[in-house]
Copies of this chain bind each other. A is one copy, B any other.
Amino acid sequence: MDLNKLLEFKYTPEINEKLVDYGFTKTFAEGDIILNENAYIKAIPIVMSGSIRVMRTDDDDREILLYYIKAGESCIMSFLGGIHQDTSKVKAIAEEATEILFIPIDKVNLLIKDYPEWLDYIFRLYHKRFEELLDVVNAIAFKKLDERLLDFIKKKCSINNNKTLIITHESIANELGTARVVVSRLLKQMEQEGLVVLGRNKIILN
């Protein structure tokens, strides 16, 4: 396994070797729950292929999408949670078939000590997540649902590099933290405006 192209930090063969050596790989199918809220964290995950979506859930089962984790990235919340022996505050779900390399927490600390690039990688990811979270705050606080919905569709499409989304109104509603009827209503509107074409389980972006 060669992490060179995946991870964004400067490659050294040693780090690669160490990571593969220390870690273990697991695969997940679409929809599998990788990390549950309040679960204890013993290893931090690096996405090797596929992608993950990270959700925040409310007390009464309402959820909202925070961000996606793509190949080469790590769930940085797990990382910090792991370091501080904390439980997870978020839920992670496989968006598609996904392969994950888990690095046990104690090994992570070893790596930090020995390889500054590794630390830099972690900081960079942290920064990225933080900004994405700020964007979420912005969206919920200041944007209306129709705009958020359109953004959502576009983002999903860009992940698959595809104009056609296979998804139900129901699950869109869940990810945006609203109700199914609301999504249906807005989508119908968008269809009339010519922004999308709708079908059962299907949305085509124009």
Contact = CB atoms under 8 A, between A and B. Distances in A.
Interface string A170-186: 00000001000000000
Contacts of A127: 80-81, 83-84, 86
Q: How large is the interface on A (under 10, 10 to 19, 20 to 34, 35 or more residues)?
A: 20 to 34
Contact of A64 (B113, B116, B141): B141
Interface of A: 56, 58, 62, 64, 66, 77, 80-81, 83-84, 86, 89-90, 112-113, 116, 119, 123-124, 126-127, 129-131, 133-134, 136-138, 140-142, 177
Contacts of A112: 119
A1 to B, nearest CB: 27
Contacts of A123: 80, 83-84
Instruction: Name, among A62, A77, A133, the residue most crowded by chain B CB atoms within 10 Å (CB to CB).
Output: A133
A141 B142 contact: no
Contacts of A136: 137
A111 to B, nearest CB: 13
Contact of A137 (B66, B86, B130, B131): B66
B113 A116 contact: yes
Contacts of A81: 127
A133 B119 CA distance: 23
Contacts of A113: 116
Contacts of A84: 123-124, 127
B130 A77 contact: yes
